């Protein structure tokens, strides 16, 4: 598609965003939001392209949200590159507005006193098991961003698949008039899913990292070949990852629609997905693959 080359604007307060979005609404323009934590890469840019296809105006939020980081996680060291991100978006020419608020604008009463939003579905499972409070922090900040921007469409990446499922559930449960669109995973040439945290990998770890995607492909191929013992496949994939140097949190096959556990009667046509999260050095890598 041709790049529209829209002039990029920046806003750093709720008031400024609402004024600009309000001016678009006066001319009946639709708005898409792509929420990010910055340190943008091609995976993020692909979401901007999808957003432009779904709306007249595109807003990209950049906010490193403290409430989704647990104790000992990388909140302080998480890469922050606002100037570079804005330059990249300006060059891409698909985003109308970058919203880069500070903590006080998102949490006016402070982080500790902030209202929290909990989505009970899958509480304590998959990524939630090893990151208590993470998804509560995600849903809380995304609901705030939706309240500020009031978009017609929100575009999220499918790499964070559990996050996508939970936020779709939140939007539907709260009756928000917002369409949630998922964008496919963008990968490096060797199959590694693009992520801001890939920069934590050492040179040797970076050579090992694509094996995570390789194990997911092996599980998918086995299922397509008729293997029915999901637990054995998951166990073997975890074992193989450990042998390669990973510390896996999980490898699991779930139903793609709601991430519920299969009942053992599914076939490949039942829309399953295999998901994994594993540590490699200082980087926690996540990936998934539809069956």
Please work out, in degrees rounded to the nearest 5, the angle formed at the alpha carbon of residue 281 by the alpha carbons of 275 and 287: 15
- Please give the structure tokens belonging to residue 108: 């006016």
Are the beta carbons of 65 and 135 closer than 8 angstroms? no
Rounded Cα distance between 111 and 196, Å, is: 24
Residues identified as active-site: 44
- How many whole angstroms separate alpha carbon 64 and alpha carbon 66? 6
> Sheet containing 97-99: which strands, arranged edge to edge?
9-11, 97-99, 57-62, 31-36, 153-157, 179-183
Q: What is the dihedral of CA 168, 78, 145, 85, to 10 degrees?
A: -110
Exposed, middle or buried: residue 264 (CB in 10 Å: 0-12, 13-18, 19+)?
A: exposed
| Element (DSSP H or E) covering residue 98 | strand 97-99
Cβ atoms within 10 A of the Cβ of 20, count? 19
């Amino acid at each position: 598609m041709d790049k529209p080359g829209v002039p990029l604007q920046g806003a750093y307060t709720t008031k400024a965003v609402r004024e600009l979005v309000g001016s678009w609404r006066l001319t009946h323009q639709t708005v898409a939001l792509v929420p990010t934590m910055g340190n943008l890469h091609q995976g993020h840019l692909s979401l901007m392209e999808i957003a432009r296809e779904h709306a007249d105006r595109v807003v990209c939020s950049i906010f490193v949200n403290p409430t989704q980081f647990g104790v000992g996680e990388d909140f302080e060291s998480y890469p922050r590159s606002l100037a570079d991100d804005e330059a990249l978006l300006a060059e891409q020419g698909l985003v109308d507005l970058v919203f880069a608020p500070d903590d006080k604008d998102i949490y006016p009463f402070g982080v500790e006193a902030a209202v929290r939003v909990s989505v009970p579905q899958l509480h304590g499972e998959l990524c939630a098991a090893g990151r208590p409070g993470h998804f509560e922090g995600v849903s809380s900040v995304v609901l705030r961003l939706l309240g500020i921007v009031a978009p017609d469409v929100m575009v999220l990446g499918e790499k964070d698949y559990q996050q996508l499922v939970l936020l779709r559930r939140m939007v539907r449960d709260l009756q928000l008039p917002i369409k949630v669109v998922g964008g496919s995973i963008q990968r490096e040439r060797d199959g590694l899913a693009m992520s801001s945290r890939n920069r934590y990998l050492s040179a040797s770890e970076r050579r090992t990292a694509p094996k995570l995607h390789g194990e997911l492909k092996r599980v998918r191929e086995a299922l397509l070949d008729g293997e029915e013992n999901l637990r054995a496949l998951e166990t073997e994939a975890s074992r193989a990852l450990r042998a390669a140097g990973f510390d896996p949190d999980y490898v699991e096959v779930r139903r793609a629609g709601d991430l519920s556990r299969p009942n053992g009667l599914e076939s490949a046509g039942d829309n399953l997905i295999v998901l994994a999260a594993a540590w490699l050095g200082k980087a926690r890598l996540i990936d998934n693959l539809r069956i």
